[in-house]
Amino acid sequence: MPLEFGLWRVDDKPVRVATRPMPLESRLEELIEADPGILGHPLLLIGRQVLTHHGKVVDLLGMDAEGSLHVLELKRDRAPREVVAQVLDYGSWVQELTNDQIRDIYASYARSRGLAEELDEAFALRFGGTPPEALNSTHALTIVASEIDAATERIVTYLASGFQVPVNVLFFRYFEDAGHSYLARTWLIDEVEAVVSSTGSKGRGKQEPWNGTDWYVSFGDEPGGRNWTDALNYGFVSAGGGEWFSRTLRSLPLGARVFTHIPKVGYVGVGTVAGEPQPFEDAALSVDGESRRLADLPLEGTYLRSAAAATDGEDPREWIVPVIWERAVPREEALWRTGFFANQNSACKLRARFTIEEVSRHFGIEQGIPDA
């Protein structure tokens, strides 16, 4: 049966506050846009009145901290079958959205609101981290209504409970009392977070495309260990202390372009891999046109690791990868912006277009990124 709200003002005795019709349903849309938190869980709005490929218009489109998309559709005065059919149609559209299409939707929304930040920045400001590499692996469909009839409730419950369709109804009721206005909310189905996997082309195009060239490298500049000044002066990146740390760095191919990042500091260099990975003890680098053993050079850091440091038979050695810097700066001049990509791996493919573009622009580097 349809849900019923009650609100009482309690002073000397309980006095029920009367429910009022919402003055304008568009007002509810504006309130959600102003503070998506009134929905009950954190969302970043990425679109309003979004035109679909089928010529329909989605009221509000949001994204959660996992990169899942949320379609929010106001019931308005439509019949039960119409509003449910509409939101299911939107689901068939949203599940096919690629990473680039999602970013285009947000860019259009940001321009219309006079917002300067890119999706990565907005995501980081909202959730405190960078977006997942794969966006839109799941989605949720929400009908927003002040009330629904029994038929709509039966249909939504049947689809969500019987067939795991990610659809729910969010109820809002509007109250006025002593010159103040109030909203109350509740969900039709308790499992608000039950966002199920999208069907269809699962995963296809949901990641940002990789250009086949750019890699992220984490250079763990640490007291008593590796030192960025050495890497800057002699042209290399390095990692070690165990298989987990060195394995990804050793996978860097010749010719790869590496965007080098010092954790909790920022990006300090962009260069090209110029040689095969070698353990520190054997590593040789080109210095002033001459091949020199790295171990023979005057170094600020320490790279020689004792074999006794190995655990479970792992290789603890520091591995060196030669790099020709296109542009590199001292640690004190590192670049960091909210929304930049960071990762705990020593090296990984860099897909984050925002990071690539902003770091390249700041360092005056020609992007020259080939088509994916």
pLDDT in tens, 298-326: 999 999 876 555 556 678 899 999 999 99
DSSP characters over 142-197? EEEES---HHHHHHHHIIIIIH---EEEEEEEEEEETTEEEEEEEESSS-TT--PB
Instruction: Express each pLDDT in 224-261 by its tens digit.
Output: 899 999 999 999 999 998 888 899 999 999 999 999 99
- Within 13 Å and on the Cβ side, how many CA atoms surround 350? 26
Is the same domain home to 57 and 155? yes
Q: Give pLDDT, residue 369.
A: 47
Provide the b/e sequence for 57-88 (b: ≥16 CB within 10 Å). ebbbbbbbbebbbbbbbbbeebebeebbebbe
What pTM was computed for the model? 0.77
pLDDT, averaged across the chain: 87
Whether residue 75 is contained in a domain is answered as: yes
Boundaries of domain holding 273: 214-363
Q: How confident is the model at residue 182 (pLDDT cuts 50, 70, 90)?
A: confident
CA–CA gap between residue 135 and residue 345 (Å, rounded): 20
Q: Over 50: is that where the pLDDT of 49 sits?
A: yes
State how many domains the chain has.
2
Q: How confident is the model at residue 1 (pLDDT cuts 50, 70, 90)?
A: very low
Q: Give pLDDT, residue 371.
A: 39
Q: Give pLDDT, residue 133.
A: 85
Whether residue 106 is contained in a domain is answered as: yes
CA–CA gap between residue 337 and residue 114 (Å, rounded): 20
The token pair at 157 is: 């419950």
Q: Give pLDDT, residue 305.
A: 76
Is the same domain home to 29 and 85? yes
Using the structure block, give the residue that is written with the tokens 């920045």. Answer: 121
How long, in residues, is the chain? 372
Number of helical H runs and strand E runs in the chain? 9, 18
The token pair at 316 is: 């603890």
Using the structure block, give the residue that is written with the tokens 């591995």. Answer: 319
CA–CA gap between residue 22 and residue 147 (Å, rounded): 11
CB 271, CB 235: distance < 8 Å: yes
The token pair at 55 is: 């010529």
Distance of CA 210 to the CA centre of its chain: 16
Is the same domain home to 287 and 174? no
CA–CA gap between residue 327 and residue 364 (Å, rounded): 8
Is the same domain home to 232 and 311? yes
Is the same domain home to 76 and 139? yes
Whether residue 193 is contained in a domain is answered as: no
| 189: phi then psi, degrees, rounded to nearest 5 | -110, 135
Kindly report the number of other CB atoms within 10 A of residue 261's CB atom: 26
Whether residue 67 is contained in a domain is answered as: yes
Is the same domain home to 141 and 247? no
CA–CA gap between residue 49 and residue 317 (Å, rounded): 56
Query: Looking at residue 20, which CATH number applies to its domain?
Result: 3.40.1350.10
The residue among 136, 169, 187 that closes a domain is 187
Least confident of 188-192, 291-295, 298-302, 330-334: 188-192
Q: Give pLDDT, residue 372.
A: 37
Closest CA to 350 of 363, 359, 341, 358: 341
